[in-house]
Structure 1
Amino acid sequence: MEDIEDLVGAGAPPGLRLPVTSVGVKPKRKPKARLLHDPVSSNPQIPGTQTIYVKTFGCSHNQSDSEYMAGQLSAFGYAVTEEPEEADLWLINTCTVKSPSQSSMTTLISKCKTAKKPLVVAGCVPQGSRDLKELEGISIIGVQQIDRVVEVVEETLKGHEVRLLSRKTLPSLDLPKVRKNRFIEILPINVGCLGACTYCKTKHARGHLGSYTVDSLVDRVRTVISEGVKEIWLSSEDTGAYGRDIGTNLPVLLNAIIAELPPDRSTMLRIGMTNPPYILEHLKEIAEVLSHPCVYSFLHVPVQSGSDAVLTAMNREYTVSEFRTVVDTLNELVPGMQIATDIICGFPGETNEDFEQTVNLIKEYQFAQVHISQFYPRPGTPAARMKKVSSIVVKNRSRELTSVFESFSPYQGLKGETVKIWITEVATDGVHLVGHTKGYIQVLVVAPDSMLGTSVDVKITSVGRWSVFGEAIESPSLGEKVSHVGSPIAGSPSCSDSCNNCDCLKDPEPCQCLIDNSCGQQINNSSHEDPISVMDGNHSGRNFITSIQSLLVRKRRSRGPEKTCEGNSLKLINHQETSGTSSKLVVMDWILIGGIVVSFFTSVVLLMMLSSEIPS
């Protein structure tokens, strides 16, 4: 099928509606009435009344794109769900960085076809590989056309195949948005990159560097702060390259954003992944920004290999020495600096000596977060044509490096310390809340949900390999002590191949195999340890009240989100967000039950008294 632009330009064929001008509707604005070319009688399904399942693969940039698409669909009346069986149409936002991500996409497409659901595939795969066999007969939308997702969905629901891939201008930052986490804004500052890595296919999809203006990004920051956002993640395929196409640079942008952050440190800024070549030019300026009280002292800087020979084969455009300069300078100038990095094991031509240099580099710096990946040849890239290293060798190298990495105890010195954390998530165990220190170290605490979106001082009580555990010294909203339960779990998953590797990804969370930060991380599928399931000798004697609190919190979070509609917008009611009052409701329930019981017995007594006074 031809591209939709060609069809519209030649006059819409029967049933194909011309592009609507209200796709870029501002948040909270109700859509105008729209006239369809097909009479309602010929299509019993009215556009805007269906339910859409949205699935996202890949990096934080992809997650932001999905949030924008969900926001536009909601603004036009569509309901958005995480349950595919409930949906009338599936929207899959894809990642092309690694074979496993694309394989997952293929599997999901097959399931969709089996379920006979209409399907739209978005993101990097269709943009970079539009002729892929799996995409035949499927509507596709590119990475820079997300502002037209409503149009594509409507036509697909009517049975039309739509292919919308032509790049024009960057999507507006002011489109409606439904955040997966209402406290976190993922803000794309640019798309594409200036690199030409021989193994990376992302540039095929995202293209050359395209930066948003400083003014547009600052305006967006003001907006999201007013909406209650507590963390702003700057995301792109390479934040360090920002502004080179429009005559500015990253330090200029960062300082402009910092000027808008509340001085009470209620909203924190996190800088996304940057490659070494571009940050080298601004190291001191970046260090000053990372030292600011409202900026996390954390940066993701991929090295990929400890061998200059391999870096040359990768066309990474820096040396190991230059990477060391970045790390050493930031560690020296930024108190409590935390750096995450990436390694590709088994790149074509990597010798045992090359790999040994990589192991030695990781041992020397003992990074707390390392995304380790086996090399995956991506079709159409120069590396795919290079002579491969034996798969057995690649797997053994990955295991060895993972073993070295897991032998580190990066957080051991924190036990007993009191630190400030910013709390923005609920852990997957349903009991703990997840906060981060200024160095973006993950801290798990048992606390009421009313503490979500707040900052609090905590005392670190125990240390795990991937997280630390703490107890809040005082709840800012309740003024009460909050106790810690649990201890680290032995044998937590390593950050090996479960974390995806490419630079473009690593944004969502520093690997702990959390989610979409290495290329395929999915912004908050964090795999937090479950400290309730294992207890060590230091915690088995915790008092009964703390245990009861934990059970109440677990019960409180057992209910899932409810959906309701207000006008044309989808509203998700998440009991996790409202459970700050849940504990109060539990008390009220008992009071009401007690009142009912007392009233019942009072009524019985009165009736008995009255009956005794009535003459027989």
Structure 2
Amino acid sequence: MEDIEDIVAAAGEAPSLRLPVAAGVGLKPRRKTMARRIGDGLNSSPSSQIPGTQIIYMKTFGCSHNQSDSEYMAGQLSAFGYAVSDNPDEADLWLINTCTVKSPSQSAMDTLISKCKNVNKPLVVAGCVPQGSRDLKELEGVSVIGVQQIDRVVEVVEETLKGHEVRLLSRKTLPALDLPKVRRNKFIEILPINVGCLGACTYCKTKHARGHLGSYTVNGLVERVRTVITEGVKEIWLSSEDTGAYGRDIGANLPVLLKAIVAELPSDRSTMLRIGMTNPPFILEHLEEIAEVLRHPCVYSFLHVPVQSGSDSVLGAMNREYTVSDFRTVVDTLNRLVPGMQFATDIICGFPGETDEDFKQTVDLIKEYQFPQVHISQFYPRPGTPAARMKKVPSTIVKRRSRELTSVFESFSPYQGMEGQIEIIWITEIATDGIHLVGHTKGYIQVLVIAPDTMLGTSTKVKITSVGRWSVFGEVLEFPKQTNNDNFLGNPTIETPSYPNSCDQLVCSREASLCSCTAQTCGGQSNSKKHEEVPTHAIVGTSIARKWKSKTLASSFQSIFHRKRRSQVSEKPSDGQAMQTVEKQEEEINTGKFTTFDWILLAGIAASSLTIITLLVLLSSNTVSI
């Protein structure tokens, strides 16, 4: 079947402009049996509905670049009237944005596709899997859209809802940066600075999908930074398959881009910059300039530099184009030039040909540097890559090495000694425990604090009260005099559930992964992050920082009610009166007052407790009588 490339027929039309489909384009009607199944599974035939009135379920796998692509697709669909949902049951169409980095993530995609077909829903598969593996059996009978055609997602969705099978995979130009966008977290802008890479790693499937390096212009990226800052973004993540390679195809380089972006950041440090994953070869010649940028007050002193192995022979087999000595130079130089510098790295265990001595060198390297973040993966051969044809290490050995390295890594205490330190943190989200807010230090160390939700999108001073293996806990020392009470009343968000077979999420955090596609290219489940077990003393110690200071059982219940009510009032008000209600509820939350609803809940709890006690007394009495 031919790929369609002529849906937008008029030359020069803006991307995603919906035009009538010209005759003869590469649309393939579904087989009658499939069309009948889809029609039977919906309340009404999709083709009979008005375009732009349907609900679209979106699921995203993979790296931060994939997350950004999903946000752009959601923005365009929302702009044309579609409702984007995280509930598959209520959706009229499913859109799955896929990752080809590891076999488990692709297997999860296969399962989701089968589920979608079983419930008779129209389906669009986007991302790296269809782009890099066009002839997969699992993609038969479904619409697909590639990584560089996200600006035409509306057309693909519309045609799919009409019962057509669409394939849109041929590359032309990079998608525009100013497309409509619905951010997963409205305070965080994931900014793709380039696609593809210059490498040729023998294990990498992502190169098949993302292709050769293609960089956005410095001016285009700077203009995007200006725009998102005016929209209230507080963190900008530079994302790509290899950030360090930026600009080599257009006569620029990463330091030039970074200096131009930093010049646009507010001097009050209200918006921070995070530099994305970079492989060692392409920053070796710019280390001093990179260090200068990392020292800037508005740039996190953090870098993700994959090493993949501590053995030069394994790196050679991987075709990584650097040595362990090169990696050491990067880490040692930046540690020397940047105060408080923090690193994350990646390891692939059991690459073909890896000997016990090779693995020992990897373990020794990790022991030497004791990185706070190490993404540990087992090797999985990806179809079509040179490594897939290499002689494999037995799976039992691969698993044993992965467990051993994980044990070594988890023996470190990277944040030991931070207790009592005063740090400035930038707060951007609620932790997955629903209690803490998540902030990060200048070195991008994750700090969990108990504070009102109105502090989201702000920076503050905290005192570190205790440390965990994966993050630290802090007590807020400074509360903003004025906070924005409608922080959660802004842009709608896409919730992307965690998936253990993709790049790991930050601990107790809903953030997109730190790693990029080439960082976790062939691994199993990463072992570098786990949910932080929140110690009781940390909760008690930091709870003093709350504005409402919960010291009694009643005020503890009140804090729970407040947290639940926040999730309720985050809904958009339907009219002016609803807005007043939201403002009143927020005022009550911030002043710590009980509402009638709170008293009713407390009365209910008290009545239930009294009933239970009475029943226990009666049962005890009956037992004694017998």
Per the TM superposition, whether the score is higher than 0.5 is yes
C-alpha distance in structure 1 between counterparts of 2:11 and 2:294, whole Å: 44
Q: Distance in 2 between matches of 1:450 and 1:442?
A: 19
The residue that corresponds to 2:589 in the other structure is 583
Residue 44 of structure 1 and its aligned partner are, at CA, apart by 2.2
* CA drift at 1:189: 0.2
Distance change >3 Å, CA 8–CA 69, structure 1 → 2: closer
Asked if residue 389 in structure 1 is aligned to residue 386 in structure 2, the reply is no
In structure 2, what is the equivalent of residue 570 of structure 1? none
1:61 is matched with: 65
Residue 103 in 1 paired to residue 107 in 2? yes
Aligned to 2:231: 227
**Equivalent position amino acid for 1:378 in 2:** R
- Give the whole-Å Cα distance in 2 for the aligned partners of 1:338 and 1:299: 7
Pick closer, same or farther for the CA change 1:510–1:236 going to 2, 3 Å. farther
Structure 1 447/231 Cα, relative in aligned 2: closer, same or farther at 3 Å? same
Alpha-carbon separation, structure 2, partners of 1:375 and 1:157: 39
Residue 272 (structure 1) aligned with residue 272 (structure 2): no
1:531 to 521, 534, 537: 534
Q: AA paired with 2:252?
A: T
Cα distance, 1:278–1:536 mapped onto 2, change above 3 Å: closer
Displacement of 1:282: 0.3
Amino acid at match of 1:2: E
In the aligned structure 1, how far is the partner of 2:227 from the partner of 2:541? 44
Q: How far 1:516 moved relative to its partner?
A: 2.8
**What does residue 492 of structure 1 align with?**
none
In structure 1, distance between residues paired with 2:357 and 2:597: 72
Task: Could you tell me which runs of 5 or more consecutive residues in structure 1 were left unpaired when the two chains were aligned.
Answer: 10-17, 26-31, 480-496, 568-572, 595-616
Match of 2:488 in 1: none
Unaligned runs of 5+ in 2: 24-43, 484-498, 601-626
CA contact (8 A) 1:427 1:528 kept: no
Hey, what does 1:342 align to over in structure 2? 346
Q: Aligned partner of 1:55: which letter?
A: K
SS in 2 for 1:371: strand
**Aligned 8 A contact 1:20 1:151 in 2:** no
Pick closer, same or farther for the CA change 1:304–1:560 going to 2, 3 Å.
farther
Aligned to 1:518: 515
Q: Match of 1:76?
A: 80
Task: Please say if 1:310 is aligned against 2:314.
Answer: yes
How big is the shift at 1:531? 2.1
CA distance 1:242–1:585, change in 2 (3 Å): same
| Identity fraction in percent | 72
Q: Contact 1:450 / 1:477 at 8 angstroms: preserved in 2?
A: no
In the alignment, is residue 254 of structure 1 matched against residue 258 of structure 2?
yes
Q: Does 1:216 align with 2:229?
A: no
CA offsets, 1:167-223, max 9 Å, x none?
Answer: 000000000000000000000000000000000100100000000000000000000
Q: Do structure 1's residue 142 and structure 2's residue 139 form an aligned pair? A: no
TM-score (norm 1): 0.82
* Contact 1:97/1:519, CA 8 A, preserved across alignment: no
| Aligned AA (1:518) | C
Q: Which letter does structure 2 place at the counterpart of 1:348? A: P
Partner of 1:607: none
Shift of 1:2: 2.0
Cα gap change, 1:581/1:429 in structure 2, threshold over 3 Å: closer, same or farther? farther
Render the CA deviation track for 1:571-591: whole Å, top value 9, x for unaligned.
Answer: xx9x99998546048738359
Matched, 1:333 2:330: no
Q: Distance in 2 between matches of 1:537 and 1:172?
A: 45
User: Are 1:299 and 2:289 matched, yes or no?
Assistant: no
- Cα 1:579–1:306 change in 2 (3 A) is farther
Q: Evaluate the alpha carbon distance shift between residue 67 and residue 122 of structure 1 in structure 2; reply closer, same or farther with a 3 A threshold.
A: same
| Residues 410-433 of structure 1, C-alpha deviations (whole Å, 9 max, x = no match) | 001111101000000100111100
Q: Deviations over 1:494-521 (max 9, x none)?
A: xxx9475xxxx68x75999975333579
- Matches of 1:391 and 1:470, distance apart in 2: 42
Residues paired across the two proteins, number: 546
Q: Distance in 2 between matches of 1:352 and 1:275?
A: 25
1:444 match: secondary structure: strand
Opposite residue 4 of structure 1, the aligned amino acid is I
Query: 1:358 — aligned with what?
Result: 362
Whether 1:323 aligns to 2:327 is: yes
In structure 2, distance between residues paired with 1:228 and 1:540: 28
Which structure carries more helix by proportion?
A: 2
Q: 1:47 aligns with which of 48, 51, 70?
A: 51
Change (3 A) 1:216 1:477: same
What TM-score results when the alignment is normalised by the length of structure 2? 0.81
Deviation at 1:7, TM superposition (A): 7.8
Q: Which amino acid aligns with 1:276?
A: P
Name the CA shift for 1:247/1:57 in 2 (closer, same or farther; >3 Å): same
CA offset at residue 155 of structure 1? 0.2
> Distance between the aligned counterparts of 1:592 and 1:391, measured in 2?
56
Aligned to 1:406: 410
Letter of the 1:301 counterpart: V
Q: Secondary structure at the match of 1:156?
A: helix
Question: Where do 1:85-100 residues align within 5 Å?
Answer: 85-100=89-104
Deviation at 1:3, TM superposition (A): 1.1
Q: Kindly indicate whether residue 291 of structure 2 is the aligned counterpart of residue 263 of structure 1.
A: no
Measured after TM superposition, the shift of residue 539 of structure 1 is: 5.5
**In structure 1, what is the Cα distance between the partners aligned to 2:597 and 2:466?**
38
Contact 1:428 1:527 in 2 (8 A): no
1:452 is the counterpart of 2:452: no
Offset from partner CA, 1:281-331 (integer Å, 9 cap, x none): 100000010000000000000000000000000000000001000000000
CA shift for structure 1 position 476: 1.1
Instruction: Give the C-alpha shift of residue 537 in structure 1.
Output: 11
SS in 2 for 1:5: coil
Aligned partner letter, 2:79: A
What's the offset of the Cα at 1:556? 3.1
Aligned to 2:486: none
Code of the residue aligned with 1:389 in structure 2: it is V
Which residue is equivalent to 1:4?
Answer: 4
Using the alignment, how far apart are the partners of 1:583 and 1:429 within structure 2? 19
CA distance in 2, matches of 1:144, 1:136: 21
How far off is 1:8 after superposition?
7.7
Residue matched to 1:191: 195
Distance 1:69 1:422 in 2: 28
Rounded to whole Å, the distance in 1 between the matches of 2:301 and 2:557 is: 35
Name the CA shift for 1:550/1:408 in 2 (closer, same or farther; >3 Å): farther
Q: Could you tell me how far apart the structure 1 residues matched to 2:584 and 2:442 are?
A: 27
- Counterpart CA distance in 1 for 2:263 and 2:583 is 29
Aligned Cα root-mean-square deviation (Å): 3.4
- The superposition leaves residues 449-473 of structure 1 with CA deviations (integer Å, 9 ceiling, x where unpaired) of 0000000000000000001000100
The answer to whether the 8 Å contact 1:499/1:513 transfers is: no
Question: Does structure 1 retain, via aligned residues, the 8 Å contact 2:344–2:374?
Answer: yes
Partner residue, 1:606? none
Q: Distance in 1 between matches of 2:64 and 2:339?
A: 26
Distance 1:425 1:537, change over 3 A: closer
